[in-house]
Structure 1
Amino acid sequence: MTEQFRNLLIIDDEVAMRHMLRLVLEPHNYRVTEADNGAVALGIIRQEKFDVILSDIRMPDMDGLSFLDHPEVHGLDSTIIMMSAYGSVDTALECMKRGAYDYISKPFKPDEVLLTLRKAEERQLLRQENRQLKTALSKQEKTFSIDRIIHSSVAMQQVLQRVKTAATADSPVLINGETGTGKELIARALHSESGRTGQFLAINCSAITAGLLESELFGHVKGAFTGADREKQGLFTIAGGGTLFLDEIAELPLALQPKLLRVLQEGEVRKVGATRAEKITTRVVAASGTDLYDAVQKNLFRNDLYYRLAVVDINLPPLRERPEDILPLAEHFLTGICRQEGRQRPQLKEEDRRRLTSYRWPGNIRELQNHLEKALIFSRGDKLDLPPLRTRQTLPGATDPEDYSLKVASQRLEKEYIRKALIKTAGNRTQAAELLEISLRSLMYKIKDYEIE
């Protein structure tokens, strides 16, 4: 048994019961204090903080239920467990409604008390971890600054200037950019520069099924569907006064798009199963890794929702279009990873710098970070051994000893033939695959790999 609960208060009018519990609990590192009724206990809790309170229900002067109802008890951070020899299921439920964590029927075995305390301890640890995480997130949000975004390029300077200009507005923002370009970082910058006092919350629209996503975003009332045994607040409500970041907005199911449009137009949400809507003050920032307007043209995304989201649009350039940012980002990642691992930071050789800046980085900043992390795993001392990069992703104009390899030449030839086939068939990929004598699936993969428009 850990020493998480050092202080424990027993409230019971029976001296023998208090003595028995003391004998059971003290060998397990509990420091036990006794009170013979609720009124005496109130005086004790004003002087000392307790992790757990074990209280009988039937007592003179002030019984257990009256103790639970007292305003001073409502403000306690203690876990309260009730005991009674006259209890029933209804009594137990009543105790829970009034704030008790659990209920034990007398007479009970010593192991039953210890097991209940162990469960309570696990709950208390989870609550403490939850508070610590919330505090850490709050500090992170407060210390986050747009000035900490690593960049040297004019393109990113223009993006960040647009962020500063748009931050104080309440209008929705749509961030466009390839995977790994830092869309969530820009969303956080918008929030930090806005001066909003609420939370910054993020959700990936492609990671949750339509049914669950609706409940996550808007919340639900008790009994709204099977398994809805209690009311749930949605992210729009929880992020009140703050920012809700909807990543991969293009994946939002069509059935939910009218509901999101109503939130943006009316500034209110209606929980699943509710009959009335609630006003919200949450700002929406959405992001898409694909062309959202293209999804509109294909009837996969509502036209009116697109224009409502894109009141302010921010386009994040891919890393290959801002090579000036590659080396500052690489230095930043190397320093951060080495500090985290407590090791000396190796220096980038001139050859390493040339290789990093001549690569296209199809996975953008995330790929650069992963590449350097991999390099550090297999490097020793102050020497950095960069893993090989895919040669077909070298930027135009960059020279590379492998340019004369048959492998690279065959890739160039394959890419050229695919381009010609697509031109010949006016962009019809099925017909192009037949001309090339490959499957449509293979063609789609190759188009993606070679980044053929």
Structure 2
Amino acid sequence: MKLCRNILVIDDETRWLRTIAMVLNRHIPEAQTYTCENSRQALQLMRELDITLVLLDLNMPYLDGRELLRDIREQLPYVRIIVVTGLNETDIAVACMKQGAYDFIAKTSPTDQLLMCVRRAMEVITLERSYHRIKDGFFHRRQLSSFDQLLTTDVKMLDCFNYAATLTDSNKPILIVGEPGTGKRLFCDALQQLFCEDAPLLQLSLAERSSAELEVALFGDNETPGILQTAANGIVLLSELDHATTAVQMLLARLCQTGRYFPRGSLREHTLNCRLVFTSELTLEQLTEQNFSLALSYVLRPQRITLPPLRERQADIGLLLQHFTECACNTLGKNYLTIPDDLANHLRQYTFPGNISELKATVNHAVSISNEQQLATAPFMQMLAHTCVAEIPQKITFPTPLPTISAATQQLIHEALVRTNNNQTAAAKLLGITQSSLSRRLSKSHE
């Protein structure tokens, strides 16, 4: 990890300043080290030299180290501070950490310990600076600037951006596949900025909707225009494709194939001018296994985008953690909270079943209960502890004699419906199948 960052050592002892500057320049040549003897000039120097790490002595004339620490935290919250202490100042140093200092070290500490402390701080700074570089326009290129809100350095996600940029001149429907919480809606917002920035983006859910209801909503009638006409040259997002009934799938396949439709009660045919974007939690291959419309799958197959889950984007966890923390602090009116060094590493061991949405919700909760200068870790520890318990497989006890597969399936469906209060959509999710597949199974059981 490259450590090209600027360090400022603040102390009124000239000899010690020269010594520490010589040590840092020799052992950490990637970072440029500056010195400052007058604490009153420190803030101005930090702004001019783009300082990211400060080694701060506590006992200085003019402006005391603790006062300067307070000023730095208020005016330059992204600067990391290592407090340099004397022999009998440990309690004061700990109090400074509670006020936002990153770490503390005694002047009499061995050189190796000092260098380890500085390197650890610089590695954290590198992660933070990478995040801000991305936020401030890492993707501000000609076509990919639309995806600025999707922070990532992951190759798979960047491939999704590049592929989407090639679809600008086409008017064929697009399928976005991804687990819950992977950012399908946010990706669709980016497509709207990419394809038709001045045209609207309208959304319609396909879950629990009959073909007649969908026909009215999409096509409209003689008196009320449908969503396709209202969208004009914009985008219509049809979400939850994996919960669409067979009749709905047939209607959509016909619309995608012909690009034309009749409003209800009208003899005048309309042309589809808007761009259709579908989202699904299941892949086309998984849908096909559940008797999904082959006609619709053939239409959607050429232009499909699969968003990787967060567990496959481990390099992004630190960036997203930083971003959501900053956003939550701004929303709640809190000062900037530093993130514990090893928190991102711990989170990389977590599978994130809720993906980015789960991480964002956890960060918001952590920021809301944080009452010092550092982000609270309790919500994350609870999340990690929960997944450890959840991963323990449950042993299923089978009766004697064994039931047939058909009987066991019916009992499993019955249990899922009982647990969800007869909500077929929720029961289908619990069973890992689509709502239309569950409906077919229920129909067969009543024949």
Q: Give the TM-score of the pair, scaled to structure 2.
A: 0.54
Counterpart-to-counterpart distance in 1, 2:368 and 2:349:
23
Number of the residue aligned with 1:306? 297
Q: Which residue of 1 aligns with 2:307?
A: 316
Structure 2 unpaired stretches of 5+: 1-143, 421-425, 433-447
> Displacement of 1:273 after TM fit?
2.3
Higher RCO, Cα 8 Å, sep 6+: 2
Deviations 1:95-145, CA, capped at 9 Å, x for gaps: xxxxxxxxxxxxxxxxxxxxxxxxxxxxxxxxxxxxxxxxxxxxxxxx982
In structure 2, distance between residues paired with 1:290 and 1:311: 16
Closer, same or farther: CA 303–291 of 1 in aligned 2, 3 Å: same
> Aligned pair 1:389/2:383, yes or no?
yes
Question: 1:338 corresponds to which letter in structure 2?
Answer: C
Instruction: Give the percent of matched residue pairs that are identical in Structure 1 and Structure 2.
Output: 28
- Cross-structure match for 1:372: 363
* Superposition deviation, residue 431 in structure 1: 5.2
What residue is the counterpart of 2:239 in the other structure? Answer: 247
Alignment of 1:221-260 (within 5 A): 221=222, 231-260=223-252
Tell me, in whole angstroms, the C-alpha distance in 2 between the residues paired with 1:350 and 1:430.
53
Shift of 1:149: 1.6
Say if 1:172 and 1:345 are closer, same or farther in 2 by CA, change over 3 A: same
Q: Which sits farther off after the overlay, 251-260 or 310-319? A: 251-260
Q: Structure 1 181/361 Cα, relative in aligned 2: closer, same or farther at 3 Å? A: same
Q: Distance in 2 between matches of 1:261 and 1:328?
A: 40
Q: TM-score, normalised by structure 1?
A: 0.54
Report how far residue 441 of structure 1 moved: 7.8
Counterpart of 1:331 (choices 322, 331, 337) is 322
Which of these residues, 272, 288, 308, is aligned with residue 264 of structure 2? 272
Partner deviation per Cα, 1:55-111 (whole Å, 9 max, x = no partner): xxxxxxxxxxxxxxxxxxxxxxxxxxxxxxxxxxxxxxxxxxxxxxxxxxxxxxxxx
- Distance in 2 between the 1:262 and 1:191 partners? 24
Indicate the SS of the match to 2:167. helix
How far off its partner does 1:325 sit? Answer: 1.1
Cα distance change of structure 1 residues 432 and 220 upon mapping to structure 2, 3 Å threshold:
closer
The 3-state SS of whatever aligns with 1:148 is coil
CA deviation profile, 1:357-405 (whole Å, cap 9, x unmatched): 22111000111111111112222132321311143636xxxxxxxxxxx
Cα drift, residue 198 of structure 1: 2.5
Partner amino acid, structure 2, of 1:206: A
Note the residue ranges of structure 1 that are not aligned, 5 or more in a row.
Answer: 1-142, 222-230, 395-407
Q: Is the 8 A contact 2:178 2:308 kept in 1?
A: yes
Report the 3-state secondary structure (helix = DSSP H, G, I; strand = E; otherwise coil) of the residue aligned with 1:358.
coil
Would you say the 8 A contact 1:344–1:381 is kept in 2? no
Matched, 1:414 2:408: no
Residue of structure 2 in register with 1:187 after alignment: 188
- 1:278 CA displacement: 0.9
CA contact (8 A) 2:311 2:352 kept: yes
Whether the 8 Å contact between 2:196 and 2:234 is mirrored in structure 1 is: no
Task: Find the residue that maps to 1:174 and give its secondary structure.
Answer: strand
Q: Deviation at 1:197?
A: 4.4
**Range with bigger deviation, 259-268 or 201-210:** 201-210
2:281 is the alignment partner of 1:289: yes
CA distance in 1, matches of 2:264, 2:417: 40
Please state how far the C-alpha of 1:271 moved relative to its aligned partner. 1.4
Asked whether the equivalents of residues 163 and 189 of structure 1 are also in contact (C-alpha less than 8 Å), the reply is no
1:22-43, Cα deviation, whole Å (9 max, x unpaired):
xxxxxxxxxxxxxxxxxxxxxx
Q: What secondary structure sits across from 2:383 in the alignment?
A: coil
Q: Distance in 1 between matches of 2:174 and 2:201?
A: 14
Q: 1:449 Cα shift?
A: 9.1
Q: How does 1:28-427 map to 2 (within 5 A)?
A: 145-195=146-196, 197-206=198-207, 211-221=212-222, 231-299=223-291, 301-386=292-377, 387=379, 388-391=382-385, 393=387, 408=389, 414-415=393-394, 417=395
- Shift in Å at residue 166 of structure 1? 2.2
CA distance in 2, matches of 1:371, 1:147: 23
**Residues in 2 aligned to 1:199 and 1:311: alpha-carbon distance in whole angstroms:** 25
Distance 1:272 1:312, change over 3 A: same
CA 1:162–1:428 in 2, change beyond 3 Å: closer, same or farther? farther
Question: Quick check: 1:327–1:353 contact (8 Å CA) kept in 2?
Answer: yes
CA RMSD of aligned residues (A): 3.8
